[in-house]
Every structure is written in C-alpha cells, then in structure tokens.
Amino acid sequence: MSPQASDTEPSVSETLEFDYVIVGAGSAGCVLANRLSADGKHSVLLLEAGPKDTNLWIHVPLGYGRLFKAKSVNWMYLTEPEAELNGRSVFQPRGKVLGGSSSINGLLYVRGQHADYDRWRQRGNQGWGFDDVLPYFKKAEDQQRGADDFHGAGGPLPVSDLGHPDPLSAAFIAAAVETGLPLNRDFNGTSQEGAGFFQTTTRYGRRASTAVAYLRPARHRGNLRIETSAPAERIAFDGRRAQAVVYRQGGVLRTARARREILISGGAFNSPQLLQLSGIGPADLLRRHGIDVVLDAPGVGHDLQDHLQVRVVMRCSQRITLNDIVNSPFRKVLTGVRYAAFRSGPLTIAAGTSGAFFKTDPRLSTPDIQVHFLPFSTDKMGEKLHAFSGFSASVCQLRPESRGSLRIRSADPAAAPEIRINYLSTEVDRTANVEGLKILRKILQAPALRPYVVEEVDPGAKVVSDEALLNYCRARGSTIYHPTSTCRMGNDPLAVVDQRLRLRGIEGLRVVDASVMPDLVSGNTNAPVIMIAEKASDMILGDAR
Ligand SMILES: Cc1cc2nc3c(=O)[nH]c(=O)nc-3n(C[C@H](O)[C@H](O)[C@H](O)COP(=O)(O)OP(=O)(O)OC[C@H]3O[C@@H](n4cnc5c(N)ncnc54)[C@H](O)[C@@H]3O)c2cc1C
C-alpha cells in the first residue's frame, strides 16, 4: 500500500543520527517528512507508533465506520467522566497508523473561516492571519475544480467533489435554502455561510490520507527513513537542548539523535503526553510521577478544546438510505461490486455528504454552527446502522468556550493519558447547542424534505422545551473528533510554542500538529493541520539556511 518501512533493523547498541527526527506520521508528520526530505540535503527519520496502512478499509472512504474501534490502527482513548454530559466518558478515536488520523477520519475538506486565522493573528501570532495561511492551503491542494483565488491545483492533496450525490443529501440543501440560508457551492471560498455539498480528500473514490498523498511519493528517497511500530517514549536533553528521541521497537529501546531539530507531531493528545513524559510540563504533575523537570511549562496539556456533536435522527419514508442497503444482503453485495468495478456508489460516502453553516444569533458576524448531513442513521458512530430507513444530521458548535486538559496518569509511556474536555461547561456553549438544534429542526421540517420524512426519531417530537433539548445534548452529545490546542502557540505565560512553533525555553524542538492551534477553527481540522505542517516546513527549512 503506502510507504515501506526500512527492512534493516539497527542493532541494539546503535545510535542513529539524522538532521531531523519527526515523531508521529499523522496529518502533520507525513507533510513534514515529504517537504524536509525533498531537496535531498537533509536526512530525516519519521517514527510512527502504529503500523503501515495495509488495512484495506483505510482506503475505502466509507471504511471509516470500520476503523472507529479497530484497535490495530486506533488509540481508542476515552475521556474522564464529563460532568455536563451526565458523567459519561466520551470515546475518542485517534489514528495509530501511517497517515495518523487522516487514515481513519471522515475525509471532509473544510478549512474553517477566514476570521479564525485573523483571530490567531489578533492574538499576537504574527504570520498566521488568513492572508498569510492561504498560500499554504493552496500549496497543499490539488482541487478537482481547478485553481482560483482560494484554491490550488497540482499540490499533493486531492480535494474532490462528492462522487455519489444522493437525493436525500440534495433535498437537505434545498430544505436549508427554503429556510433562508444561501446556497453555498464552496465552503472554503469567499464565505462559509449557507448550505451545500462537502468536498472530500479523495481521488477516484479512494481516501487520500497524508500517508498516501505525501509519504508515498517520498518513500524511496535515500535520505528519508520511515520506522513503523516505533513509539517514542521520551525526548533526551542536554541541558535545555533537545538531543535525541528514545523509542521502542520490537521490544528494544533505541535512540535517534537529531543534529538539527526534533519535531513532535503526535497529535493533540499524544504530543503533550510525550512532552510531559520527557520532563516538559506542569512541574507539580511531573514530580508527582517521579519525572525530572527539564522545564516547568504549565501550558503543556492546558487549553484542550474539541467540537461536540449532537445528532438528530429521522425515519425515512423511502427505502433509499444507506440503512436499507446495509440491511439487505443483496444490495450490500451490489454496492461492493459497484465500488470494486467503478469506485463509485455509497462506499464513497464521507462523514457528511451535504451540510450547512449558520448563525444561532443574528448579531454574530460568522456562523457558529456546522451541520453534517448523512443519508444513514445509527445510535453511535461505528456501530450498527438502524434497522429502519433513516437519515441523520448533527449540530456542531464551531467555537466552543469550554476548555479542558490533558495530563499523564503515570510515568509509563504505554499508559493512556487523562483526558478532560469539559464539554458544555459554559452558558454560551449550552445555548448554542440548543439554538442550533432548533434551527436544524426547522430545516428538517422544510418542504423539500417532507416527501422523505415519516417522523423525527431522536430527540423525538416530545422533546421541545430548551431544558429538554439541553438534556438531550447532555445524554447524547459526543465528539466530532477535533481535539486541539494542548501545546498552544502564543505569547502569554501558558503558550507552549512561539510563532515559529519552537518550544519556548527549549532549543532544537518544535511541535507541529493540531496541538499548536491557538484555538479551534470553525470547521474540520485535517486541512488546517496540513496547512500548519506546510508552513512549518518552510520555517524549518528557512531556519536551516
Ligand atoms: C474518526 C475521526 C474523524 C475525523 N473526521 C474528520 C473530517 O472528516 N475532516 C477533517 O478535516 N478532520 C477530521 N478529523 C480530524 C483530523 O483527522 C485531525 O484533526 C488530524 O488528522 C490531526 O492531525 P495531527 O497531525 O495533529 O494528528 P494525527 O493525524 O492523529 O497524527 C498523530 C500521529 O502520531 C502518532 N504518534 C502519537 N504518539 C506517538 C509516539 N509517542 N511515537 C510515535 N508516533 C506517535 C500517531 O500514531 C499518529 O499516527 C477526524 C478525526 C477522527 C479521529
């Protein structure tokens, strides 16, 4: 499938040496590995905790449903009991495989709003305003519709239109327009507001993870070495200079020294975990676990943010949903054959077919809610689809105020960290979710969808008052898989990295992944992480000159 790991195992005593050592071959790490090794001048080691991406379901778009609970490629984290979600722990899948979460995600290509990046700049992060980051979105992109003011063509990352526009998803858009939302052909163009079809990171009906888009073309370079099933356990320091990465492979501890820099791209949960295990984090926490403090950095693991999603399930009057296909052995086989022969049909469906962005309060300048529409329904993602004909749409508040934390539980690198998101812990967040549900319901009741609707199954007609809707959010709300900001970029005392993503107070160490976002963007997070890694590559190579 994609990149080959090296066949030559180093001996136990061997210490490898490279210009750059990258920890984590996820959305960000694969971009870095490609860009930093491209001119052949630098040697690069890419370490990935998980295996190669040989699981066939990775490459079939709808296969993400099979990967939610696939232990072989997924860290499968759980949050602590969430106080505002009736004490429920929320399941948090994360890719543990070449491509990282881009190998198991929902494939939607949404960058967020221009204002997100301008806000980053306003918070003092020079060089991260929308005009600054747009060239990097374009550089990454191979847009099926061609290049324009907002899009690039010819980049490594294919961005494609939906291969399988079904009548329900189109009816959702028409219904949203009937309620007064504008039709939007491009959520990544001039304005995000409105309803339309999503674009996906796919090509010819196959997933384009960063392992496929960035690593596969680079894998034969003599100056790039890729090691899989090789979790980094800690970073070794000489004073305050990061020197080497200690990792475990085949039961053996190995050391890789970095002549220039170590780049941590383990994602929003694992990057702060690795820093804390290495002695960079809140000093009291580290001491409690017997870890020598290299740098007291209280911001490491602070400010964890995530998007909550609350789903509405509808019973459909026609047997045209994915539920009907999955529940019919004959139609299931037909769908498989269609995909195998033409790479088309329902197996090309991503985590949303159509969607909408709207404001719950007209005084807002940009949308605060994203809706993902899907022509199927289930109680929980990754579990069986309903036996009845059904479809669903979820509300996702785009800029939550709630903040959580990530802290190690022990000095054992194999122990899962303690994850607290604190969903719905502010009034603004609770109100946005309730108001978002009310607006989504209006769309689902609009004329264009009427021919397809029997009834609302969840939350159901009896759930009407604000209080009842909030209770539904508490009982059923779940993640939409966008944790960020645990090693936040900024200038304040809790900021972990500076605007060049260098770890404050440490030499030779950068963090490059979703954890550096100053705050969560108003959309899906894969495209923004790839942009961050494209920009980081330029900065790293610039600093090497
Ligand atoms: C189920 C799911 C659905 C999603 N759907 C979408 C979507 O439709 N659209 C969208 O834009 N975004 C989506 N996302 C979010 C998006 O995929 C992530 O935000 C993005 O991939 C994060 O990139 P990253 O580089 O920060 O981390 P990751 O891509 O998670 O990469 C981190 C990598 O580091 C490795 N690693 C971690 N620790 C170590 C260690 N100690 N040693 C070695 N390797 C290590 C991991 O195994 C992993 O491969 C989804 C995510 C999930 C999980």
Q: Does residue 166 have its Cβ closer than 6 Å to ligand 1?
A: no
Q: How far is the CA of 177 from the centre of ligand 1 (A)?
A: 34
Q: For residue 159, how far is its CA from the centre of ligand 1 (angstroms)?
A: 18
Contact of 142 with 156, CB cutoff 8 Å: yes
User: Which contiguous run of DSSP H or E holds residue 113?
Assistant: none
- The pLDDT score that the predictor gives to residue 330 is 95
Q: Residue 380 has which token pair?
A: 């929980």
Q: Is 65 in the pocket of ligand 1 (CB under 6 A)?
A: no
Give pLDDT, residue 161.
96
Catalytic, out of 42, 372, 386, 482: 482
Residue 8 has pLDDT above 80, yes or no: no
Q: What is the pLDDT of residue 513?
A: 99
- CA of residue 324 to ligand 1 center, whole Å: 31
6: helix, coil or strand?
Answer: coil
Per-residue model confidence (pLDDT) at position 14: 66
Is 266 close to ligand 1, i.e. is its CB under 6 Å away? yes
Between CA 6 and CA 16 the distance in angstroms is 13
CA of 530 to the centre of ligand 1 (A): 11
DSSP at 213: I
| Residue of 75, 525, 532, 535 to mutate, ligand 1, most atoms within 8 A of C-beta | 525
Does ligand 1 come within 6 angstroms of the Cβ of 23? yes
pTM score, whole prediction: 0.97
DSSP state for residue 178 in the 8-state scheme: H
CA-derived radius of gyration, the chain: 23
Task: State the Cα–Cα distance between residues 212 and 207, nearest whole angstrom.
Answer: 8
Distance 438 CA to ligand 1 centre (A): 32
Give me the mean pLDDT over the 347-359 stretch. 95
Active site residue 372: no
9 has a pLDDT exceeding 60: no
Q: Cis link prior to 217 (omega < 30° from 0)?
A: no
- How many angstroms is it from 80 CA to the middle of ligand 1? 20
**Bridge partners, 310 (sequence order):** 395
> Residue 429, SS3?
helix
Q: How far is CA 501 from CA 71, 283, 394, 514, in A?
A: 31, 22, 34, 12
Please give the DSSP secondary-structure letter assigned to residue 392.
E
Neighbours of 233 (CB within 10 A): 16
Cα(92) to centroid(ligand 1), Å: 11
Query: Could you identify the atom of ligand 1 that is nearest to the CA of residue 74?
Result: 47
- Diameter of the chain measured on Cα atoms: 71
Distance, in Å, from the CA atom of 163 to the CA atom of 524, rounded to the nearest integer, reads: 20
Q: Can you tell me whether residue 204 is helix, strand or coil?
A: coil
Q: Minimal CA–CA distance to 24: which of 382, 275, 350, 297?
A: 275
Q: Is 283 exposed, middle or buried (0-12, 13-18, 19+ CB in 10 A)?
A: middle
Lookup: tokens for 147: 């290049």
Whether the CB of 305 sits within 6 Å of ligand 1: no
Q: pLDDT (tens digit, 9 = 90+) per residue, 161-190?
A: 997 789 999 999 999 999 999 999 999 999
**Three-state DSSP state, 471:** helix
Q: Phi and psi for 514 in degrees, rounded to 5?
A: -65, -20
For residues 214 and 311, give the distance between their C-alpha atoms in angstroms, rounded to a whole number: 34
- Which ligand 1 atom sits nearest the alpha carbon of residue 26? 31
Which atom of ligand 1 is found nearest the CA of 99? 49
- Does residue 202 have its Cβ closer than 6 Å to ligand 1? no
Lowest mean pLDDT segment, chosen from 8-22, 107-121, 141-155, 352-366:
8-22
Task: Check pLDDT > 80 for residue 11.
Answer: no
Does the beta carbon of 527 lie inside 6 Å of ligand 1?
Answer: yes
In one letter, which amino acid is 262?
A: I
Q: Is the CB of 67 under 6 A from ligand 1?
A: no
Q: How far is CA 511 from CA 33, 82, 163, 171, in A?
A: 14, 28, 36, 43
Q: Is the CB of 42 under 6 A from ligand 1?
A: no
* Residue 5, pLDDT score: 41
Q: Is 496 helix (H, G, I), strand (E, B) or coil?
A: coil
